[in-house]
């Protein structure tokens, strides 16, 4: 078996792309999208018609509504290819707006349900701010499952689990980027700070019996992926999926519930003040969360400009 086939023995593989052809090629169970991936996709000739149709069919609606319908059009098309779930992201400009995020999550689910897609097949992606986590807590109680993104630290993960969200997406590669830039060092294998962060979160969840799924995300190389074999899910870009498929090097399970139960971790209780203090105390987590929100916001604005140019 190649590395991708071996990895599928231990972990659910998720395609991190808005490219339908790549999703078909690698046969993942689930798929994730974000504003940056959708922006990239609609600039290609193959996917431009989806953007044009969204604008044409909703000509009298606000730009934000057209963007929502574009996201749902991508998600609906992806769900025709995969057997599992697709993640669709809320507007990153709502990252500090609990009520706004709740309203957006409900609106996206309503659009999917109007298209005949059951809410069980959708994950609403929300930034792992305190406000975003509170929004997810409300949505989960309504049966709207959430994927907490832009997650870089243990306190974010604990708050998400306490809110009983469906899934979190800790960002391996962006953590690696920060430490590489900060220290000037190269990290590989088990020494990678991004890998270590996800292992800590996974072990914490399994040791203390949390049901929230852990999906490692934002990978820079296959070494990071292989080191997390056994994680609940891993969302992987097409180029790295191809590298895994091209290699027959051995893949061993690295994460398991049994090993997690013996991890040296203390259970923490977080209120808002403790959450904010612990996140603030983590320079990497604070900087990467802020940066991630800014980048996603910028890509939403670019999408809006593309929509407005077609009106």
Lookup: tokens for 238: 């097409």
Identify the active-site residue in 40, 44, 125, 305.
125
Other CB atoms within 10 Å distance of the CB of residue 225: 26
* 3-state SS, one letter per residue, for the chain: CCHHHHHCCCCEEEEECCCHHHHHHHCCCEEECCHHHHHHHHCCCCCHHHHHHHHHHCCCCCHHHHHHHHHHHHHHHHHCCCCCCEEEECCHHHCCCHHHHHHHHHHHHHHHHHCCCCHHHEEEEEECCHHHHHHHHHHHHCCCCEEEEEECCHHHHHHHHHCCCCEEEEEHHHHHHHHHHHHCCCCCHHHCHHHHHHHHHHHHHHHCCCCCEEEEECCCCHHHHHCCCCCCEEEECHHHHHHHHHCCCCCCCCCCHHHHCCCCCCCCCCCHHHHHHHHHCCHHHHHHHHHHHHHHHHHHHHHHHHHHHHC
Residue 84 class from Cβ within 10 Å (0-12 exposed, 13-18 middle, 19+ buried)?
middle
Tens of pLDDT, residue by residue, the chain (311 residues): 999 999 999 999 999 999 999 999 999 999 999 889 999 999 999 999 999 999 999 999 999 999 999 999 999 999 999 999 999 999 999 999 999 999 999 999 999 999 999 999 999 999 999 999 999 999 999 999 999 999 999 999 999 999 999 999 999 999 999 999 999 999 999 999 999 999 999 999 999 999 999 999 999 999 999 999 999 999 999 999 999 999 999 999 999 999 999 999 999 999 999 999 999 999 999 999 999 999 999 999 999 999 999 98
Other CB atoms within 10 Å distance of the CB of residue 10: 18
Which of the four CATH numbers 3.40.190.10, 3.20.20.70, 2.60.200.20, 3.40.50.150 does domain 3-310 have? 3.20.20.70
Is 261 annotated in the active site?
Answer: no
Distance CA 17, CA 36 (A): 10
So where are the chain's domains? 3-310
pTM: 0.96
């Amino acid at each position: 078996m190649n590395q991708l086939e071996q990895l599928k023995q231990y972990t659910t593989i998720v395609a991190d792309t808005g490219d339908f052809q790549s999703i078909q090629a690698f046969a993942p169970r689930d798929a994730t999208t974000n504003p940056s991936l959708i922006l990239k996709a609609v600039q290609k000739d193959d996917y431009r018609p989806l953007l044009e149709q969204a604008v044409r069919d909703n000509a009298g609606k606000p730009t934000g509504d057209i963007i929502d319908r574009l996201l749902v059009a991508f998600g609906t098309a992806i769900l025709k290819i995969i057997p599992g779930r697709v993640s669709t992201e809320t507007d990153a400009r709502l990252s500090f707006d609990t009520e706004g995020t709740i309203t957006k999550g409900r609106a996206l689910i309503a659009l999917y349900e109007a298209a005949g897609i059951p809410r069980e097949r959708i994950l609403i992606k929300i930034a792992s701010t305190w406000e975003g986590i509170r929004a997810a807590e409300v949505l989960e109680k309504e049966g709207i499952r959430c994927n907490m993104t832009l997650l870089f630290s243990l306190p974010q993960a604990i708050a998400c689990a306490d809110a009983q969200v469906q899934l979190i997406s800790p960002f391996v590669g962006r953590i690696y980027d920060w430490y590489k830039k900060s220290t000037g060092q190269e990290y590989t294998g088990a020494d990678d700070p991004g890998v270590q962060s996800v292992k800590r979160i996974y072990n914490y969840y399994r040791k203390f019996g949390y049901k929230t799924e852990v999906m490692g995300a934002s990978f820079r190389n296959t070494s990071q992926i292989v080191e997390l074999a056994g994680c609940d899910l891993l969302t992987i870009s097409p180029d790295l999926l191809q590298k895994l498929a091209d290699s027959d090097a051995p893949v061993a399970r690295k994460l398991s519930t049994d090993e997690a139960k013996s991890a040296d971790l203390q259970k923490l209780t977080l209120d808002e003040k403790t959450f904010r203090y612990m996140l603030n105390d983590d320079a990497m987590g604070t900087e990467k969360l802020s940066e991630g929100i800014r980048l996603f916001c910028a890509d939403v604005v670019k999408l809006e400009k593309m929509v407005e140019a077609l009106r």
